Amino acid sequence: MDIENQKIDYKSIRKIRTGDKGFKDLAISCVAFANALGGTLYIGIEDDTLTPPDGQIIGENEINDAVSRLNSLCFNVSLSSSGLIKHENGGDYFKIDVAPSTKSIATTSDGKIYRRIADKCEPVRNEDLQRLSIEKGAYQWELLSTRYLLSDLPVENIKRFANDIRQSDRVKEHVKQMSDPEILEHYNLVDNEKVTNLGVLWLGNAKQRSRISFPITVQYIVYNHLEQKVRKVEWHDNTLNPKDLLLAIEDEATELCYSHEFPDGLFRKQIRHYNPKVLRELLLNAFAHKSFTISNDIMICVYPDRLEISNPGGLPLGVTKDNILHQRHRRNPYLITIMSDLKLMEGEGSGYDLIYELNGMEGKKPPFIESSFNETRVTLYSEIQNVEVLPLLDFTLNNYRLSQKGYMAFGAIAVSSKLQATKLSAYLQLSDAERLRSYVDPLLRDGLITKRGTKKGTTYYVNPKLIANSKANIKTSLKTIEPYALKALILEDLKYHPKSLISDMTNRLPDVERDELRKMVYSMVGHEIKAEGSKTYRRYSLN
């Protein structure tokens, strides 16, 4: 069986055999599914094994009673049961299908509202109710039938789409063997001969696309260093489907192909201002997460030092700029499925991981994300933060096979010279140290990085041996100074500058991080040095 996700949840049979508490928990799952994309509850399946216990027996009356009781605990929720299912190990289980609530907001019988986000059921806050109401319409937009029939669509568009699907190695064999109309049904482009909004968007002609609310329209604007418009291209004629529109933008956007150039031995090394894979991922994200219930353009604004891509509609409910690496949530799931199957974009939920990986290994900042009620804007910066580490990053890419997590963590550590565990966790949007281990432990094991300290005081460094092997000409810096050497440096500084504030020492030792300096000074008070004055204006001198 598949693992738990946006549309699947597994519950032990104990949930329906332990009274009110178990049923209330199941009701929360049903409400959360109904307020999202619908889903399936498998009752009698254990989370750890994804199978029912051997020989587990469930009666038909027990199933009927469970469905009846759940119906009484949920409002605006449509439930149906498949009846008893026998697993190959002899254990019984059953499933409850929950339909998406398209016209109203689902609630529990005591008035609480929940939403399915990734594999969790999250409560909806009062301030999110309006967003939920609007998004419910947006989530159903793809499947709404139009007045067009399958016979109204251009035949060449149908054949081209079906052929593209059959040629993709991401598509299962049984789908490739379907007829053209069956493939369209499979991807929700038609529904009983009626073309859906998604079908018109992908297969229709310009006139048909212009009749749906609202197709994908794009503006591409280039600004100079004074932020004056110097070039503008628009795609408002609806002649292109999402795939062709993407290719047209990539072909037109010559400013996005500019490169940095650096000496590399006898040759010159070029690094694009914006990695083409990152660009494609961000453009497709703008397509895939556009709110089709808002009439506005996708904006691509190119400045000398940055690129801004914005799309209509805020981030999906439950997704923020601080958890976007790990929350899996889709506004237009069927459009995303098509683009993924056609190999236009990465697999589900892996887009921002790829962006962080590629930007990190090119020495660039991660994307900066802003989200309001009506718009999501992503900013990419072209600047390479630390040119000196580029040979080190290249050497690592060419000589080590790391996981995506490994490249993300190593790029962040290399650019910073050293990085505290707390700051690395914040960069990777991780909530606890245990999750960070999956990123850094392989790097430590392979000798790419070293560490000092324990727990929250842990700091990660690039292994000096790796720097030497890469022949990277990285300037010596006090950032990576050993603790004993830092202590000696502080003593030497105070010998010539007694009665100094920490801010004075920071100004004289700019390469040493203020937090590291403060921590060392505090540890030396009462031993090698003494302190005078109040906390704010405390001055330090040698004993």
Same domain, 461 and 488: no
With CA atoms as reference, report the closest residue to 362 among 390, 399, 323, 333.
Answer: 390
Which of 72, 99, 124 is the last residue in one of the domains?
A: 124
> What is the pLDDT at residue 441?
94
User: What rounded mean pLDDT belongs to the chain?
Assistant: 89
Same domain, 61 and 110: yes
Report which DSSP code applies to 5. Answer: B
Poorest-pLDDT segment among 264-268, 287-291, 465-469? 264-268
Same domain, 495 and 515: yes
Give Cβ neighbours of residue 68 (< 8 Å, ≥ 6 apart): none
pLDDT tens-place string over residues 331-366: 788 898 999 999 998 655 567 899 999 999 999 999
Q: Which long-range contacts (CB under 8 A, 24 or more apart) does 513-519 make?
A: 513/479, 515/420, 516/486, 517/486, 517/490
Cα–Cα distances (Å) from 147 to 192, 214, 270, in that order, read: 12, 15, 51
Q: Which long-range contacts (CB under 8 A, 24 or more apart) does 469-472 make?
A: 469/395, 470/391, 470/392, 470/394, 470/395, 470/396, 471/391, 471/395, 472/388, 472/389, 472/390, 472/391, 472/392, 472/395
Same domain, 112 and 38: yes
pLDDT tens-place string over residues 128-165: 776 676 666 555 788 889 999 999 999 999 999 999 99
Sign of CA dihedral 242, 245, 250, 255: negative
516, 486 contact by CB (below 8 A): yes
Same domain, 460 and 528: no
What b-and-e string marks burial along 473-510, b requiring 16 or more CB atoms within 10 Å of the CB?
A: ebeeebebbeeeebbebbeebbeeeeebeeeebeeebe
Q: How many domains does the chain have?
A: 3
Does residue 500 fall inside a structural domain?
A: yes
> What is the pLDDT at residue 516?
84
Same domain, 35 and 107: yes
Q: What is the CATH number of the domain that holds 52?
A: 3.30.950.30
pLDDT tens-place string over residues 384-405: 998 889 999 999 999 999 999 9
> What is the pLDDT at residue 134?
64
Average pLDDT score over residue span 179-198: 95
Same domain, 420 and 501: no
Average pLDDT score over residue span 183-189: 96
Same domain, 485 and 449: no
Q: What is the CATH number of the domain that holds 441?
A: 1.10.10.10
What's the CA gap between 281 and 424, in Å, rounded? 24
Which of 459, 475, 491 is the last residue in one of the domains?
A: 475
For the cut 70, the answer to whether the pLDDT of residue 495 exceeds it is yes
Does residue 24 fall inside a structural domain?
A: yes
Beta-carbon neighbour count of residue 117 at 10 Å?
Answer: 19
Does residue 517 fall inside a structural domain?
A: yes
For the cut 80, the answer to whether the pLDDT of residue 126 exceeds it is no
Average pLDDT score over residue span 417-436: 87
Does residue 74 fall inside a structural domain?
A: yes
Q: Which domain holds residue 41?
A: 8-124
Does residue 140 fall inside a structural domain?
A: no
Same domain, 417 and 520: no
Dihedral of the alpha carbons of 188, 192, 197, 202, in degrees to the nearest 10? 60
28, 109 contact by CB (below 8 A): no
With CA atoms as reference, report the closest residue to 146 among 177, 109, 88, 189.
Answer: 189
Same domain, 432 and 461: yes
With DSSP H G I counted as helix, E B as strand and the rest as coil, what are the percentages for the chain, rounded to 5?
40, 20, 35
> What is the pLDDT at residue 93?
95
Q: What three-state secondary structure class fits 344?
A: coil
In degrees rounded to 5, what are phi and psi of residue 414?
-65, -45
Same domain, 45 and 115: yes
Q: Which long-range contacts (CB under 8 A, 24 or more apart) does 468-473 make?
A: 469/395, 470/391, 470/392, 470/394, 470/395, 470/396, 471/391, 471/395, 472/388, 472/389, 472/390, 472/391, 472/392, 472/395, 473/388, 473/391
Phi-psi region of 514 (alpha: psi -120 to 50; beta: other; left: phi over 0): alpha
Average pLDDT score over residue span 101-130: 83
Dihedral of the alpha carbons of 496, 497, 499, 504, in degrees to the nearest 10? -150
* Residues counted in the chain: 543
Tally helices (H) and strands (E) across the chain. 20, 24
Which of 76, 97, 124 is the last residue in one of the domains?
A: 124
Does residue 173 fall inside a structural domain?
A: no
For the cut 90, the answer to whether the pLDDT of residue 68 exceeds it is yes
Does residue 3 fall inside a structural domain?
A: no
pLDDT tens-place string over residues 6-38: 889 999 999 999 889 999 999 999 999 998 878
Same domain, 467 and 498: no
Does residue 288 fall inside a structural domain?
A: no
Pairing of strands 459-462, 120-123: unpaired
> What is the pLDDT at residue 11?
94
